[in-house]
Amino acid sequence: MKVAIIGGGIAGLATAAHLIQQGVQVEVYEQCIVPSKVGMGFIMLSNGLQMLQELDLLAKAKKLGHPTHFFSLKNPTGTTILETPLEDALTMMRYDLIDLLQRKLPKSVVKFNHQFESFEYGKNKKLVAANFTNGNSVKADIFLAADGRASKVRTVVFPKRTLYEIREKEIVGVLKDKDLAAHFGEGFMKVISPDGGLSLGIVPAGNHRLIWYLQFDTQKYTSPSKEASKIKQFVLDRIRDWQAPIPALIEKTTVNKIHLWPIALLKNGFEQFYQANLLLLGDAAHPLSTLTSQGVNSALEDASQLAYLFAKFKLKDKPEYLENVFKKFQQVRLPILEEYERQGAVLLEKFLAPFESIDDFQIPLGNNKKNLILK
Ligand SMILES: Cc1cc2nc3c(=O)[nH]c(=O)nc-3n(C[C@H](O)[C@H](O)[C@H](O)COP(=O)(O)OP(=O)(O)OC[C@H]3O[C@@H](n4cnc5c(N)ncnc54)[C@H](O)[C@@H]3O)c2cc1C
């Protein structure tokens, strides 16, 4: 039995690592020509960390990442509104996590320069082969699509599932600066505009690095064009009067380390994750609001849950159980992901509204429960 995974991001690589541990024949097809160094970072929460532990990668992740011990909420003049300890939160650069997962796999597993284009079909909507823009065609028994939020696989197989951009956009930046890193310390800080619809998060990522992200309401503030210098200027204009050293943090970030990120969700929610011998995973299946911080964590959960079901149904030797595996995966994962989706909607509503009371505030870290995997 051969499993072809389309997309070598977090979900694709983690799934490959789990399945290879079970002796399943897996190949990952990734569009990047070489391992990607792109991306900023994310906060790994207890559910994601638990999934790394299952892959025996937690100790290494802790060495590469940076523990985030507390959360503080401030207003633009610097007054602290709330401060609370955080349990089990680790900030990681995306490329460190990608590298960690890639190293878990034999080198030949990930086939770079493979951008998925189309499928060839057999009977009953069963996929027989995946075609790539480099001219290669790959046959497999099971296809897993982990090609991210704008998934080409999803648009080919489920053309009616379209994305829409939400009102909130993010501009993310990263910089390395010893003094600023020392100033902002160990905690995740969020500064919110009392008028609503504008906030700046600052997260230390270790090694004197700081990741910051400006979230803004596109109905209140016209989004800048994609030109890097305009994006930076947009951020500076929003936080110019905020307490020092916030303006310096933005000033010191080079324009090539600043990225504008529109957030697109599925118009009709998540629906079915599978069809015949194809299953969608991670952002391809369930793009989530970044306000939940569950993108990476839920991708790791998907990988672990699927691997568990593969083993439980002994799918390697009993391919006739594929539908049972996919059905059970859907049954277990959908309610959990719909809860993240609901939390994303609540967080968005609160973000857009003026800040009135701390009682209404919700720490923007979604659900941080443990043991979400059915075992
Ligand atoms: C370049 C990049 C940078 C990111 N930076 C951040 C960040 O700084 N902070 C954050 O919170 N989240 C970031 N994300 C998103 C985050 O990684 C995901 O939300 C989360 O990890 C879920 O993982 P995923 O594997 O489902 O999707 P992703 O991590 O998005 O992985 C999808 C993978 O599929 C590949 N792919 C896409 N289309 C095709 C195709 N047609 N054929 C073959 N391969 C394809 C992509 O190159 C990518 O490697 C980034 C994603 C990408 C792709």
Find the mean pLDDT for residues 286-294.
90
Ligand 1 pocket test, candidate residues 5, 147, 279, most atoms within 8 A of CB: 147
Query: Considering only CA atoms, which residue is closest to atom 39 of ligand 1?
Result: 147
Query: Considering only CA atoms, which residue is closest to atom 8 of ligand 1?
Result: 40
Contact 257, 282 (CB under 8 A): no
147 Cα to the center of ligand 1, angstroms: 7
Contact 113, 29 (CB under 8 A): no
354 Cα to the center of ligand 1, angstroms: 32
Q: Write out pLDDT tens, residues 26-41.
A: 999 999 998 777 778 9
Decide if 130 is inside a domain: yes
38 Cα to the center of ligand 1, angstroms: 9
The pLDDT value given to residue 370: 43
Residue ranges making up the domain that contains 6: 2-39+94-163+268-352
Decide if 157 is inside a domain: yes
Q: Write out pLDDT tens, residues 76-134.
A: 999 998 888 888 889 999 999 999 999 999 999 999 999 999 999 998 889 999 999 99
The pLDDT value given to residue 69: 87
CA distance readout (Å), 85 to 88, 185, 259, 271, 291:
10, 14, 29, 36, 19
Query: Considering only CA atoms, which residue is closest to atom 49 of ligand 1?
Result: 9
Other CB atoms within 10 Å distance of the CB of residue 345: 14
282 Cα to the center of ligand 1, angstroms: 9
Give Cα 347 distance to the centre of its chain: 17
Helices (H), the chain: 10-21, 46-54, 58-64, 94-103, 152-157, 178-184, 228-239, 246-251, 282-285, 295-312, 322-352
Residues sharing a CB contact under 8 Å with residue 299, sequence separation 6 or more, in sequence order = 9, 10, 11, 14, 146, 281, 282, 283
Q: Say yes or no: CB of residue 156 within 6 Å of ligand 1.
A: no
Query: Going edge to edge, which strands form the sheet with 137-139?
Result: 116-121, 127-132, 137-139
Residue written as token pair 């509104």: 81
Query: Which stretch of 4-8, 332-336, 359-363 has the lowest confidence by average pLDDT?
Result: 359-363
Closest by Cα among 14, 214, 1, 190 to 100: 14
Decide if 244 is inside a domain: no
Decide if 64 is inside a domain: no
Q: What is the CATH number of the domain that holds 12?
A: 3.50.50.60
Decide if 10 is inside a domain: yes
148 Cα to the center of ligand 1, angstroms: 5
Q: In the structure, what pLDDT confidence band is assigned to residue 315 with cuts at 50, 70 and 90?
A: very high
The model's pTM is 0.94
Decide if 310 is inside a domain: yes
Decide if 297 is inside a domain: yes
9 Cα to the center of ligand 1, angstroms: 5
Q: What SS3 class is residue 313?
A: coil
Decide if 149 is inside a domain: yes
Which two structure tokens, joined as six digits, stand for 145?
A: 């699509």
Query: Considering only CA atoms, which residue is closest to atom 21 of ligand 1?
Result: 296
Q: Write out pLDDT tens, residues 207-219.
A: 999 999 999 999 9
Closest by Cα among 300, 237, 277 to 94: 300
Ligand 1 pocket test, candidate residues 38, 283, 304, most atoms within 8 A of CB: 283
Q: In the structure, what pLDDT confidence band is assigned to residue 360 with cuts at 50, 70 and 90?
A: low
Q: Say yes or no: CB of residue 148 within 6 Å of ligand 1.
A: yes
Which atom of ligand 1 lies nearest, measured to the CA of 153?
A: 41
Closest by Cα among 358, 359, 302 to 333: 302
Q: Say yes or no: CB of residue 15 within 6 Å of ligand 1.
A: no
How many domains are contained in the chain? 1
Entry field: residues in the chain? 375
Q: Say yes or no: CB of residue 116 within 6 Å of ligand 1.
A: yes
Q: What are phi and psi of 297, to 5 degrees?
A: -65, -40
